[in-house]
Chain A
Amino acid sequence: MAIEYLGLSEINGPLVVLEGVKDAAYEEIVEFRMDDGTRKIGRIIEIYEEKAVIQVFEGTDNMSLVNTHTRLTGRPMEASLSPEILGRTFNGIGQPIDGLGDIQPEMKVNINGLPLNPVSREYPRNYINTGISAIDGLTTLIRGQKLPIFSGNGLPHDKLAAQIVQQASLGENSDEEFAIVFAAMGVKYDVAEFFRRTFEESGVSDHVVMYLNLANDPVVERLITPRMALTAAEYLAFEKGMHILVILTDITSFCEAMREVSSSKGEIPSRKGYPGYLYSELATLYERAGIVSGGTGSVTQIPILTMPNDDITHPIPDLTGYITEGQIVLDRPLFGQGIYPPINVLPSLSRLMKDGIGEGYTREDHQALANQLFSCYAKVGDARALASVIGEDELSPLDKQYLKFGKAFETSFVGQGETENRSIIETLNKGWELLSMIPREELDRIDTKLLEKYYTSASEVI
């Protein structure tokens, strides 16, 4: 029988301090009961002998120093898991909110997870066809990868994520067991609703697990939400052998919540007030993607983060980029021109692409073609910069050709319809079509043999 402690000695923002506790463990979950019967749960985040600092998930409103009964549960935060979670909706700390009753857990798992042993990992090599040229062609998504979308407020990152989910799940591999784990951290109601509707419309609702912590839900719960979701994802992937796509949105809110808690704990801030352990915390989320050797399942992550002020050097996108295996960067000027998806391909990157494409995976020319498109598009930038100084008319014929190429690349290769699902061959052929606008001797990233096979010149520029 657990002891109940009456009263608290301090309440400060989302943190409370309890003195005189016996036998409390670090990161243990505690339950609070107020005099009026309301219940809350919290987690011990610092402990000094008989004094425990507890983070309250639902916020400390209505708690007072005298009316609170605290009980230690003896367990860390756990997720209740069973195959039944498919198709269900939970709140940020894993309690069902769809009115369908509790989950009968097959197992209870500590949501902090444990680091996957690098020798037990399998290097991801199978590409996922998303049907989006800019991604398939230039920043190929690989099963088991963590590939975030770096976006800004107001950019169509949600639409893009939804399109990836729809088209990837309905791809050729649809016979394999596929599920989506969706975690919302501090997003607006309509965003969560948009995803729910999309899943429903594309008929995948039965294969979606949703963890929702909306913008008006308690901030501290956000710190738990992605861990809940990833624990569920790992369970489905590695215990049940399913291919899981995890969407985490919005990482920025998660980091803001961390900063809030850190500052109420009185910790020494590092960059922009974020705690020094921001990198480690983000890593413990992102590194939970991957494939375990010997198993059939995989966890692929698409975290979405809105860059504050569109600044890619802000600590959140910066540290994320150092952990994830590439990034897809959305760009406001492209969006302004009405191009969808507004992916700026130059800073976008997929680190795992090199081993998942080419002969036997996509097509032999894929890597060379991608490099050439990158290189040519980088030159478009130079030509545009020059044109803005000396005017377009003064450019050399070659630079003018590059300008034309740039325009075409943006509208017909990057740009595509919101439901348009291009096959990889279509994407690659489109790439060659664009390269035909550039004279052959400018193509310095492609082997002579491949050029002979695929390149046709549209116009000879002297």
Chain B
Amino acid sequence: MSRTGKIYGINGPVIYIKGQTDFKMSEMVYVGKENLVGEVISLTKNRTTIQVYEETTGLKPGEIVTATGDAVSVTLGPGIIHNIFDGIQRPLEEIARESGKYISRGVNVESLDIHRKWDTHMVIEEGQEVYPGTIIAEVPETKSIVHKSMIPPNIEGIVRSVVPDGQYTVTDTVAVVESPDGQTHEIKLAQKWPIRIPRPTHNRYAANTPLVTGQRILDTLFPIAKGGTAAIPGGFGTGKTMTQHQVAKWSDADIVIYIGCGERGNEMTEVLEDFSKLIDPKSGNLLMERTALIANTSNMPVAAREASIYTGITLAEYYRDMGYDVAIMADSTSRWAEALRELSGRLEEMPAEEGFPAYLASKLSAFYERAGMMQNLNGTEGSVSIIGAVSPQGGDFSEPVTQNTKRFVRCFWGLDKALAYARHFPAINWNNSYSEYTEDLSPWFREHVSPKFLSDRSQIVAILNQETSLMEIVKLIGSDVLPDDQKLILEIARVIRLGFLQQNAFHKEDTCVPMEKQFLMMETILYLNERAQDLISKGMPMSVLKEDKIFEKIIAIKYDVANNELEKFQEYRDTIDTFYDNVMERNG
């Protein structure tokens, strides 16, 4: 029995130690001369199995494996926001400074800068009783975010000493707490937490506020709540990453954690460059000031890819504990599932569907259940919303990752190849997508947008559904033979598709649209529908209605009306009235 072991076998990222060891499950270990980071994933009497988070080339049997005593953890403290980490929270900037343009092995860097001094304002006093989660200090972490350091969840007691406000590093002791059993604990600005264990909370609330993303099809048709979960499945090239980028940029979350899990290196560079230039509409500061990136690109070691998702969610939970609304973009959960499969294969476990391990579903559900609107231990309210991209094999939604994800998320934004081919973006298919939050959020919409919002929304949905069934006929016999009222439905549906659902991410005004404007756009389209129906019922043919190019004018609203000149919508109402009168006059 010992706290070290000798490597017996090596197979890709998995290594074995022969005989019994004193290692613990999920414990972090250092492997070999280069001190590669690893994690214990299975223990038997004869064999300890370890997954290594770095390339294992060059390892030899007989090299020493040392246990660290801690589970694989992240360091939580100021310096997380505006940073970019790899899957096990090593800052990539630091790694670049240490090892150059490539990520070499065994780089030993601190997760957070331990030399940087933070402007600290202490909010506790000597003699005060503190509980798990009590906020002890406030640090302006970035221009947008005030970091609130907390008592770790396993400590409570009486504050015996506090440092005065001033400049401290994350490793300085800022308070000493004596717990009821007489032990003293040194409290620092940073704390550690194991990534596979959810941070404790008091209570879970039902969803009641939407995460407003500025994307019309999401906010209006398939809204996600703060603390909600959504999946974006789609084959390659359908715009998963684009949708994630849009939500990361424009959603009204306080903090965004962007996890690039097994995706492209250039994409992470793009996020980094873009977010360092774009302004967050909510705070007026740069987007990066509220963003943390986790980049474990597809060519980085596969075990760290598996860990990156947990690292991301633990960071998110930590900021939730401070009372922030955090949104996680996980791009892509399929890569994570594939990492599970790869490791499971190396462990020679019995595969279930398509080679995925049987525990895929339980791992997925455990991940998505870490989202939620919570009452934290310190009484504040915060939320973690998860938006996970899914990359189904061959674009086929019946594969295990998509199907299992569907069971655990309440928003499903299904991307469609045909829409993407026609460059209709966001290519979210309105027929097979859904949101279970619409009900829960209806009071909010009634109160904050308009009492008419939900009825407008259902009318829009109804028109789109009618179009879908009419298209079945059109595909067989063409649209010319349809009666005029059905032609109108097709025309209005076209206006909805092009003028409302389709949104241009590269257009200054159209990239992010406030709820107010989304509602007025719906109103205008429906008003046009109402007046046009009236004309049709008076016997006017569709060809006459089309003469005035009114439909094109309404489609162009998204570009022609800026987000801050909503009074213009009255003019469009007048235009529709004029159109009605004109048609009546000419043909009446």
A interface with B by C-beta (< 8 Å): 23-28, 46-50, 76, 110, 112-124, 144, 238, 267-271, 275-277, 279-280, 283-284, 286-288, 290, 292, 312-315, 318, 321-323, 325-327, 346-347, 349, 351-352, 354-355, 367, 370-371, 374-375, 378-379, 385-386, 389-390, 394-396, 399, 441, 444-445, 447-448
CB distance from A241 to the nearest CB of B (A): 14
Residues of A within 8 A of B61 (CB): 24, 47-50
A-B contact pairs, 17 of them (CB 8 A): A26-B10, A47-B11, A48-B16, A115-B265, A118-B84, A119-B269, A120-B102, A123-B270, A267-B345, A276-B344, A279-B338, A312-B394, A313-B396, A315-B393, A323-B264, A374-B422, A394-B478
- Give the interface SS of chain A, mostly helix, strand, loop or mixed: mixed
Expressed in whole angstroms, the Cα–Cα distance for A188 and B567 within the complex equals 68
Expressed in whole angstroms, the Cα–Cα distance for A386 and B474 within the complex equals 8
Q: With A23-B60, A279-B338, A351-B237 given, can you name 15 additional A-B contacts, CB distance below 8 Å?
A: A50-B61, A123-B273, A270-B351, A271-B355, A271-B393, A280-B342, A284-B299, A318-B395, A322-B391, A346-B422, A352-B266, A385-B475, A386-B475, A441-B549, A441-B552
Verify if B538 is at the interface (C-beta below 8 Å from A).
no
Residues of B within 8 A of A354 (CB): 506
Residues of A within 8 A of B273 (CB): 123
Residues of A within 8 A of B262 (CB): 279, 283
Expressed in whole angstroms, the Cα–Cα distance for A352 and B267 within the complex equals 9
Residues of A within 8 A of B270 (CB): 123, 355
Residue of A nearest to B474 (CB): A386
Interface string of B10-29 (1 = CB under 8 A from A): 11100010100000000000
Verify if B477 is at the interface (C-beta below 8 Å from A).
yes
The residue from A275, A326, A395, A444 contacting B498, defined by CB atoms under 8 A apart:
A444
Contact status A47-B478, CB under 8 Å:
no
Residues of A within 8 A of B297 (CB): 115, 118, 283, 287
Take A121-B269, A280-B342, A375-B423 as given contacts and tell me if A114 and B103 are in contact as well, using a CB distance cutoff of 8 Å.
Answer: yes
Residues of A within 8 A of B584 (CB): none
Take A123-B269, A277-B342, A327-B237 as given contacts and tell me if A46 and B60 are in contact as well, using a CB distance cutoff of 8 Å.
Answer: no
Expressed in whole angstroms, the Cα–Cα distance for A65 and B18 within the complex equals 28
Q: Which of B12, B104, B349 has the most CB of A within 10 A?
A: B12
The residue from A27, A277, A346 contacting B57, defined by CB atoms under 8 A apart:
A27
Residues of B within 8 A of A76 (CB): 57-58
Expressed in whole angstroms, the Cα–Cα distance for A143 and B355 within the complex equals 37
Contact status B299-A396, CB under 8 Å:
no
Expressed in whole angstroms, the Cα–Cα distance for A362 and B84 within the complex equals 33
Verify if B451 is at the interface (C-beta below 8 Å from A).
no
Residue of A nearest to B340 (CB): A276
The residue from B62, B300, B342, B421 contacting A115, defined by CB atoms under 8 A apart:
B300
CB distance from B87 to the nearest CB of A (A): 11
Segment from B89-97, B528-536, B570-578 that makes contact with A: B89-97
Residues of B within 8 A of A374 (CB): 421-423
Interface string of B323-341 (1 = CB under 8 A from A): 0000000000001001001
Expressed in whole angstroms, the Cα–Cα distance for A437 and B55 within the complex equals 57
The residue from A46, A323, A325, A347 contacting B9, defined by CB atoms under 8 A apart:
A46
Residues of A within 8 A of B139 (CB): none
Verify if B131 is at the interface (C-beta below 8 Å from A).
no
Residues of A within 8 A of B100 (CB): 120
What class of interface size applies to chain B in its complex with A?
Answer: 35 or more
Expressed in whole angstroms, the Cα–Cα distance for A280 and B262 within the complex equals 8
Expressed in whole angstroms, the Cα–Cα distance for A374 and B102 within the complex equals 39
Contact status B298-A280, CB under 8 Å:
yes
Contact status A118-B268, CB under 8 Å:
yes
Expressed in whole angstroms, the Cα–Cα distance for A27 and B55 within the complex equals 10
Verify if B476 is at the interface (C-beta below 8 Å from A).
yes
CB distance from B43 to the nearest CB of A (A): 18
Expressed in whole angstroms, the Cα–Cα distance for A341 and B416 within the complex equals 27
CB distance from B356 to the nearest CB of A (A): 8
Expressed in whole angstroms, the Cα–Cα distance for A268 and B9 within the complex equals 18
Contact status A119-B92, CB under 8 Å:
yes
Verify if B407 is at the interface (C-beta below 8 Å from A).
no
Residues of B within 8 A of A27 (CB): 56-58
Residues of A within 8 A of B345 (CB): 267-268, 270, 275-277
Contact status B559-A447, CB under 8 Å:
yes
Take A24-B60, A375-B423, A378-B421 as given contacts and tell me if A367 and B506 are in contact as well, using a CB distance cutoff of 8 Å.
Answer: yes
Verify if B348 is at the interface (C-beta below 8 Å from A).
yes
Expressed in whole angstroms, the Cα–Cα distance for A321 and B394 within the complex equals 10
Expressed in whole angstroms, the Cα–Cα distance for A370 and B421 within the complex equals 12
Contact status A269-B475, CB under 8 Å:
no
Take A119-B272, A396-B479 as given contacts and tell me if A276 and B341 are in contact as well, using a CB distance cutoff of 8 Å.
Answer: yes
Residues of B within 8 A of A276 (CB): 338, 341-342, 344-346, 355
Residue of A nearest to B494 (CB): A444
Take A46-B9, A271-B393 as given contacts and tell me if A448 and B101 are in contact as well, using a CB distance cutoff of 8 Å.
Answer: no
Verify if B302 is at the interface (C-beta below 8 Å from A).
yes
CB distance from A343 to the nearest CB of B (A): 14
Residue of A nearest to B348 (CB): A268
CB distance from B32 to the nearest CB of A (A): 10
Q: Which 9 residue pairs of A and B lie closest in terms of their CB atoms, listed nearest first?
A: A313-B394, A270-B355, A283-B298, A378-B422, A321-B236, A114-B102, A287-B299, A48-B9, A276-B345
Contact status A117-B102, CB under 8 Å:
yes
Expressed in whole angstroms, the Cα–Cα distance for A347 and B238 within the complex equals 10
Verify if B461 is at the interface (C-beta below 8 Å from A).
no
Residues of A within 8 A of B57 (CB): 25-27, 76, 110, 112
Contact status A119-B264, CB under 8 Å:
no
